[in-house]
C-alpha cells in the first residue's frame, strides 16, 4: 500500500467541481419535485458523538426519507477538496439510479379495448354525454361510432337504416358514406341537401 502525498495530487479546479456538482444537484432536486418528506422524524438529528448535525451529513441516503439533493449537497460540502470528485461520481450514480423506473410500467387499456368499451357502454347515450364520461371529444366518439357502423348520435347498431334517415339526423355526406359502405358521395350529398331544405 502506497501513500499519496498532497504534493503528488493533480491540481484541483474547485469552480469546475462546483459547477458539475451543481448540475447534479439540480437534476436530483427536479426528480423530487412534488414529493413530500417527513421533516420532524422521531430520530434526532445528532452526530453519533453528540451535537447537532447538518441534514444528511452522516449515514446513507436510504436510512431516512429525506430529499437526495440535500443529502448529496451536505456530503459535498463536508468532503475534503481532494475527495469531492468521488462524491460527485457517487451523486451522479445516485441520479442515474433514481431515474431508473423500478416498478413495472402499468398496463393500460389498448386503443381497441377503449373503443370497444366506448361502443358497449355508450350505446343509447348521446355522443356529448359519452364524450364527457370517457374524457374525450364529441368528434372522437362520433368517429369511433362510425368506424364500428353505429349510429353516431346514439351508438345503436344501424340495421336497415336508410341514407335519408341518416341525413335527417344531421350527418354529413362523408359520415353517411363512412357508415354505409358502397354509398356514392353524390347520393349522400343529395339526401343531406334534401334534409337541410326540409328543416
Q: Domain ranges in the chain?
A: 13-99, 111-158, 160-199
Q: Hey, is 85 helix, strand or coil?
A: helix
Q: How far is CA 26 from the centre of its chain?
A: 21
How far apart CA 131 and CA 4 sit, in angstroms, is: 71
pTM, two decimals, is 0.38
164 and 173 Cβ atoms separated by less than 8 Å: no
Find where cell 356514392 sits.
Answer: 184
Q: Please give the distance of CA 183 from its chain centroid, rounded to a whole number.
A: 43
Q: Which three cell numbers stand for residue 30?
A: 427536479
With beta carbons less than 8 A apart as the criterion, state whether 180 and 163 touch. Answer: yes
Q: What is the pLDDT along the chain (199 residues), one digit of tens a residue?
A: 455 555 555 677 888 889 999 999 998 888 766 655 555 554 444 444 444 444 443 344 444 457 788 889 999 999 988 899 999 999 998 888 877 755 565 578 888 888 999 999 998 888 889 988 888 888 899 889 888 888 787 888 776 677 778 888 888 888 887 777 667 788 788 888 888 888 6
- Grid cell, residue 161, equals 337504416
- pLDDT number for residue 60: 43
Bridge partners (DSSP) listed for residue 46? 52
Q: Beta strands of the chain (E only): which ranges?
A: none
Work out the widest C-alpha separation in the chain, in whole angstroms: 100
Amino acid at each position: 500500500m502506497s501513500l499519496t502525498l498532497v504534493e503528488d495530487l493533480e491540481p484541483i479546479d474547485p469552480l469546475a467541481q462546483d459547477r458539475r456538482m451543481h448540475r447534479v444537484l439540480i437534476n436530483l432536486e427536479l426528480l423530487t419535485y412534488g414529493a413530500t418528506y417527513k421533516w420532524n422524524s422521531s430520530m434526532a438529528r445528532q452526530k453519533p458523538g453528540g451535537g447537532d448535525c447538518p441534514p444528511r451529513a452522516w449515514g446513507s441516503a436510504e436510512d431516512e426519507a429525506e430529499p437526495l439533493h440535500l443529502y448529496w449537497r451536505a456530503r459535498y460540502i463536508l468532503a475534503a477538496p481532494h475527495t469531492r470528485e468521488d462524491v460527485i461520481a457517487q451523486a451522479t450514480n445516485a441520479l442515474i439510479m433514481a431515474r431508473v423506473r423500478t416498478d413495472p410500467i402499468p398496463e393500460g387499456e389498448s386503443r381497441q379495448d377503449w373503443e370497444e368499451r366506448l361502443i358497449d357502454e355508450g350505446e343509447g347515450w348521446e355522443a356529448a354525454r359519452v364524450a364527457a364520461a370517457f374524457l374525450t371529444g364529441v368528434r372522437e366518439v362520433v368517429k369511433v361510432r362510425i368506424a364500428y357502423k353505429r349510429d353516431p348520435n346514439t351508438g345503436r347498431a344501424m340495421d336497415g337504416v336508410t341514407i335519408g334517415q341518416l341525413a335527417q339526423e344531421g350527418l354529413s355526406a362523408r359520415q353517411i358514406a363512412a357508415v354505409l359502405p358502397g354509398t356514392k358521395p353524390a347520393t349522400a350529398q343529395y339526401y343531406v341537401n334534401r334534409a337541410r331544405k326540409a328543416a
